[in-house]
Amino acid sequence: MASKARAILGAVRTALAAVNGTGVYVHNLTGSADCIKGGRPLDTDFHYPACWVAAGPLTSTHGPQLGRYRRELVIDLQARAAAPGTPDDRGLIAADLLNDITIALEQDRTLGGTVLDIIVEGMSIDGDEAGIPGVAIAMAVVKVYWHANSGAGV
């Protein structure tokens, strides 16, 4: 049986696939099969727009009942879009990208019933600040939590 973490990462990637440049979305992360990727970006990743999704730390605390845990998984996201123009333009494009990601993830805060809730925290920056000129960058930390029985794994 696949891990709960795998199911959660898949649900996040599915939610991000809704960012299609229409309706409430400014950007399109569905342009090709590799727009939404696993892992973290490499120095050689220059295909934009793109979004990387990677599992971060997992914490467990005592749950509401003996034998249950409250699990929290932190998921790191980084999205990039080509952004010509001024640093101010890139900052605004990055803000739109972060907004798109947040809207997509908050459409279903249970990620299809996979978790109890999510919290999205993020920031947007001009890629020049990160040494990636001409790019807008949105970075987010998505915290998801659920309850699990003892011995259920992650």
**What DSSP string runs through 101-129?**
HHHHHHTSTTTTTTSSEEEEEEEEEEGGG
* Confidence class for position 23, pLDDT limits 50, 70, 90: confident
The model's pLDDT over 76-108, given as tens digits with 9 standing for 90+, comes to 999 999 898 899 999 999 999 999 999 999 999
**Is residue 40, in this structure, part of any structural domain at all?**
yes
d(CA 64, CA 52): 33
Give the residue, 152 or 70, on which the prediction is more confident: 70
**Is residue 126, in this structure, part of any structural domain at all?**
yes
The model's pLDDT over 118-151, given as tens digits with 9 standing for 90+, comes to 999 999 999 999 888 999 999 999 999 999 988 8
Token pair for residue 62?
A: 């005592």
**DSSP 8-state class, residue 27:** S
**Is residue 58, in this structure, part of any structural domain at all?**
yes
**Is residue 138, in this structure, part of any structural domain at all?**
yes
CB 102 within 8 A of CB 90: no
**Is residue 32, in this structure, part of any structural domain at all?**
yes
Could you tell me the residue range of the domain that residue 40 belongs to? 4-149
Domain holding 24: CATH number? 3.30.70.1700
**Is residue 57, in this structure, part of any structural domain at all?**
yes
The domain tally of the chain equals 1
**Is residue 154, in this structure, part of any structural domain at all?**
no
**Is residue 111, in this structure, part of any structural domain at all?**
yes
